[in-house]
Chains A and B, each alone.
Chain A
Amino acid sequence: MKAAVIVFPGSNCDRDVTVALRQSMRTAGGGEPTLVWHKESDFPTVDLIVLPGGFAYGDYLRAGAMAAHSPVMKEVVRRAGKGVPVLGICNGFQILTEAGLLPGALMRNAGLRYVCKDVHVRVESSQTVFTNKYETGQPLRIPIAHHDGNYFADEAGLAALEDRGQIAFRYCDPDGTLDDAANPNGSARNIAGIFNKTKTVLGMMPHPERLADAPLGGTDGRPMFDGLVEALS
């Protein structure tokens, strides 16, 4: 598998996700993710594009709003249109919604504060390139770290997401039960991550790269990277 990690000047999880990807790629026989600078309007052909977490251009405007108009994103949108899988984590998810690759918007957390902690999310579908190593319904423990992760779409939009099976992850209890107490940011229907219609683009607020290594206290994020490498190699 060949992977590109897009680097905006304010990306700060680019190294973390590169490390996590590299670990899975090495297990599968090698390769190294390519780092692509935000000013590039072209980059080599890859099997996976990752938009990492951070504060792309400072996010003093709406999170991801400026990044959606960067030179590199025009190319990311074009490739996504051709079916190249795109994974957006945290700020990457915000950019994907701003760029129109995913529906809805990420508003300020309901509690109005930045939140960094482990949460649980339930895998809503294992039938995708991103989630094939998980079981549908499986609860995962994965950290969040954001100020603007409160997913919003109108009722019709939410219904459409449900109907097409586009909801990837929902915030849940450790045992997988959905309730308000498990929702850390006020997201509609406990949504933590969504797919596009073709399930080739995934945006998610939790950071799988942060719990993909046992010394850090958990490995629930690891199967996502292993699964991507396996499916795309």
Chain B
Amino acid sequence: MPISAATTKITDYVDVNKKMADLCCRYPERMALLPINFESATSIAELLQASEAATIKKLLVAEGLPFDDIVDRHQRPPYVKNKNFEWVPPVLFVSASLYSQNPELVSVALNILANYATDFFKGMRGAHEVSLNIVVEKKNKTYKKIVYQGPIEGLKDLVEVIREVGNE
């Protein structure tokens, strides 16, 4: 199996607190999944979520991780489904209080994502590369986006990246 190199980019992200208020969504105090067009959407009706969002959410909840929905059930955004073979997870939001008080839960979440991605690629040839976007709330209430692209095995290393970004 070809081995691919991992890349991790860190960029500024919109003020999630303000954006949630603008869109009439609930601000997540713990862990959440953000719609893929969260930054650009101008109303709640425009929001779209990754097709894997439903699966990732139920896997996180099943493991007892502290998870917040940002909208009510009847407001759930539609899913974007591209019928090509790639693993496109939703944007994972990690609050400052979560990683500072329970950093091990972030590690558990990344393990869950890694295990699910491993299952997804089972029996498929080629480089099993994943991309994952994580939005981290910093202690000063600004936000950074971590964009990871690389092999599944590299997901576990993001725990340290999240810690460093959060404590900047």
Instruction: Answer yes or no: are A and B bound together in one complex.
Output: no
